[in-house]
Structure formats: structure tokens, C-alpha cells
Chain A
Amino acid sequence: MASIGQRVSSTAWWPGAAIFGIALVVAIHVQTSLWSGGLAPLAVAAVVAAFLGVPVATNEWRLGPETRPAFTWPLGETLLLAAVGAVVGAALAGTGLAGLAAMLIGWPIMAFATRRFGFWPGFVAVGVAMLAMVVSVGISLPGFDGWTLLEPHWETWRDWLPWSLVAGLLLPCAGLGRWAEAPPALPGHRRVPWAVAGLGLLVATAISLAAAVVAEGQEAISYGVVPILLLALCATALAGPPDGFRRRLGIPLVASLWFAGPGFGGLELFWQFLLPLGMSMTIGALAMRLEGQASWTAWVAAAAALGAALFGWPGVPIGTLDAAAAAATLVGLVWIVGTRAVLARQTA
């Protein structure tokens, strides 16, 4: 699994968690926060990621879970999870069939290249795609006309601040360790959270450009394909070399499909309350294991996640179907977390 240049004993990280975090950040940003504050929520999320998310994620991934994972997943399943998660993220981001087609074409090509040439070339390919995107935006800037949606609105901070706090922790995947420990932990290094956060921020920014052009009533093919290809690339690059597919599907994959389909009504409750609440508990437990400045940073991050949960409480859904979806989501989460906790203690 480990490639040349990586230490087995160095920082471990969970690629499935990275994809989950990036897909969720992008989806919610394009659907909600971009419309309520323009680029302001993303800017605040970037600051939170730099000063809280990355330090917490670094310590979380360095220490690893307190107990051994109850389940172990083959890498092929992680790849499948990452790909489907990214597809669901792209679909939720509203990039349309063209984006999905680009994703479905780009992902197998990238998967083959990753399998043939290894992990790091894939990550470098993401960097090349990033440069191409930046150059294309720079060239077309005089004719770009998507400023209405991108215009930052700081005065509406009450609407988007909870999202910014959660997104800032999700970008480097802080607070997801215990919840997403099922995918295998790959040997990484201590700067991996920076790379993952940068990639997530880039994808969110690029898709914001695409959404802004669409909001102006213009074609967005040139802007829409690039971020989708980026998603395809990061889906495979972060998942690492494939090791064959299995039929057994993972909980995060089922969760992604659930929220994209019948459980869509429960997404708001999950995103605005249950997820930040769980993240605050995870980061709080991490803070108790740390000392000094690292502990204080983790406590502040836990308080931020708790504040986001309390401040972002969406209320009980009004519609019958939405309420049923929210209730099913809550029951499913309690069952999954409870079962996993019991199994983890038995195998510890």
C-alpha cells in the first residue's frame, strides 16, 4: 500500500473521509451559502480551515482512533465510495448531465492512470488541472460575467456562519476520524491536511464560478467541465491505487445515495445539526488526548462545531415526507454509531 517516500509510521489519513468532506462542502455551498452570502462564506471557511481545521486534522490523523476500527474495508471499496460520493456531490451541486458525463468519463481514465503509475502522479495531475483552470479563468476574465452571485455579502452572516464553521473543519476533514474510520487509513505525511483542504477549497471555488455564470443566464460549459474533472481527479487521486472492486457497499456510500434520493428531506437536519454535533464530540474527545496549545486549538474547534450545531438548528421539518426522512436519518445514525461503538469496544 505504501509507496516509496512514505513512512508507515507517519500520519495516517482516510481518503473516503476527504472525498465525503469535499463533496458535502461543495454541494451545500453551491445550493445554499453561495446564494446567501456570495464568496464571503467560502472566505470565512478558508480562514477557519487554516487556523482550526488543519491543526486539528493533523493531530487527529497523527494520533489515529483510540481503538482499532471495527470493520476493515478493502481499498477497492474505498475507491468505489470515493467515486460515487464525488458523483453524488456533483449531482447535488447542480452541474447537470454534462458534468456527470464528464465525471463518468474522467474517473475511469484517472483510475487506470492511478493504477498504472501510482498515487502521486494522480495528485500532480490534479495540480496540472488546477493550473489549467486558473489560466482559463485568467484569460477569460475580461468577458466573465458572473459577478452578481459571487458578490460577497458580509451583513447576512447569521445565515451562513454556521455553514462556514462546519465547512472550515470539513475541508481538511477534521472531526471525521471516528465517524469515517471504516475506510483504510493510508500512510501519509503531516502536511496531507493542507493538500486536502487546498483541493477542497479549489473545487468549491471553481464550482462557484460555474454556478455564478449559470445564474447570469449564460452558458457555463467551459466552467462546468473543469471542476467536474477536478472532482473526478481528486476522487481517484485521494483514494489511491485501486485494488479491485467488491460488491459490499460501505455505510458512507449508502448514506450518500440516501441523501441524494429518498432521504433528501433529512439532509438539512443532518448537515446543520447532527453532523456538527458529532464533530464537536469527536474533536472534544481529541482535545482531551492532547496537551498545550494543540489541546486549546482543539477545544476552540469543538466549541465552534457545537456553536454551529446550536446556531444552525433548522427546526423540525414541516412536510410529512421530509419529517419521515429526518426521523429515518436520525434513527439510522444512532444505530450505526451505536453498533460501531459496541463492536469497536469488543475488538479493542
Chain B
Amino acid sequence: MIWILLCGLAMAEVTVEIPPALGAETVLVVLDDEGRPRTGETVRVVHRPGMAGELEVAIGITDGRGRVRWTPEVPGVAIVRADEETQEFNVERAELPTGTLTLLLLLLLASATSMLYGIAYRPRGQVTR
């Protein structure tokens, strides 16, 4: 009995028809423990959960087939919530984030330059052992 209950709990899920991408409409489907569509559920999405710039947005209410349309406006990690069900998605980016990439390359360049500058110096003169 407990095993059946656990299996049922594991089956409750939030799925998407098309993997979410920035600016592209997709359809979320909310199913109950027995795989039937859950109607009238308010669906919310939390972008960047636990990170700076966390943003929670209400997507809408599921229709008779447990479906709701979603057009992601923020790229990256997002958690979709429908009642107690949660599902993590990764909203695909349209292009590389140039600002973040530039900062990352600058940090790597600064660390490499600093290290090489520090290692390159070899004092002359008195040599001891």
C-alpha cells in the first residue's frame, strides 16, 4: 500500500511540450498522481531561485486539459510551481551573455597576468642556499 502511494506521489508532475526557450511560447501540462490533468491550478514560475535577482511570476491557471501557455522572459534556471508540485527547468538562451562572458574572461586574464608577473621576477645578486 505504501509502495503504491509512493509511486503515485512520484507520478505527479509538471511537464512541457517544447523545452522552454527565451521568448518562445511553450505549453506546461500539470498532471495529478494518477496522470490525469489538474484543472484550475494556478501555475507560477520562479526565475533564478535562491540567487540575486530572483523573480516570481504568475503564468496562469490550467485549463480543462491541465495546460497553460508560458512564454519565458528570463533565461536560465527556473522552477515552475503548481500547488505543491514543483519542476525545475532551464530556459534556453538565444545567445551567449556577452557581459558575463567578458567579465569571466577579464577575471581569468587578470589572475593569469598577476600570477605570471609575480613568478617572472627573479632577484639577482647574493645567492644563498
* Chain A contact residues, CB within 8 Å of chain B: 2-10, 35-40, 42-43, 46, 50, 123-124, 126-127, 130, 134, 137, 141, 145, 147-153, 156, 159, 187, 189-199, 201-202, 205, 209, 215-217
Contacting residue for A2 out of B48, B53, B128, CB 8 A = B128
Selected from B76, B116, B118, the residue in CB contact (under 8 A) with A147 is B76
- Is A198 a contact of B107 with CB atoms below 8 Å? no
Q: Are B106 and A10 in contact (CB under 8 A)?
A: no
Q: What separation, in Å, do the CA atoms of A126 and B115 have in the docked complex?
A: 10
15 contacts between A and B (CB under 8 A): A6-B123, A6-B128, A7-B123, A38-B100, A127-B116, A130-B112, A147-B75, A147-B100, A148-B76, A153-B53, A159-B52, A195-B118, A198-B110, A198-B114, A202-B108
How many angstroms between the C-alpha atoms of A35 and B119 in the bound complex? 32
| Given A36-B52, A127-B119, A149-B51: A216 touches B112 (CB 8 Å cut-off) | no
A interface SS class:
helix
- Chain B residues numbered 87-117 whose CB sits less than 8 Å from any CB in chain A: 88, 90, 93, 96-97, 99-101, 103-104, 106-108, 110-117
In Å, the complex CA distance between A124 and B107 comes to 20
Query: In the complex, are the beta carbons of B107 and A195 less than 8 A apart?
Result: no
Q: How large is the interface on B (under 10, 10 to 19, 20 to 34, 35 or more residues)?
A: 35 or more
Binary contact track B11-39/A, C-beta < 8 Å → 1, others 0? 00000000000000000000000000000
Contacts of B123 in A (CB 8 A): 5-7, 10, 189
Is A195 a contact partner of B52 (Cβ separation < 8 A)? no
Q: Is B125 among interface residues, defined by CB-CB distance under 8 A?
A: yes
Contact of A38 among B52, B116, B120, B129 (CB under 8 A): B52
- List residues of chain A with CB within 8 A of the CB of B88: 217
Query: B117, A153: Cβ atoms under 8 Å?
Result: no
Q: Which 6 A-B pairs have the closest CB atoms?
A: A195-B118, A198-B114, A148-B76, A198-B115, A194-B118, A202-B111
For the complex, is B3 an interface residue (Cβ under 8 Å from A)?
no
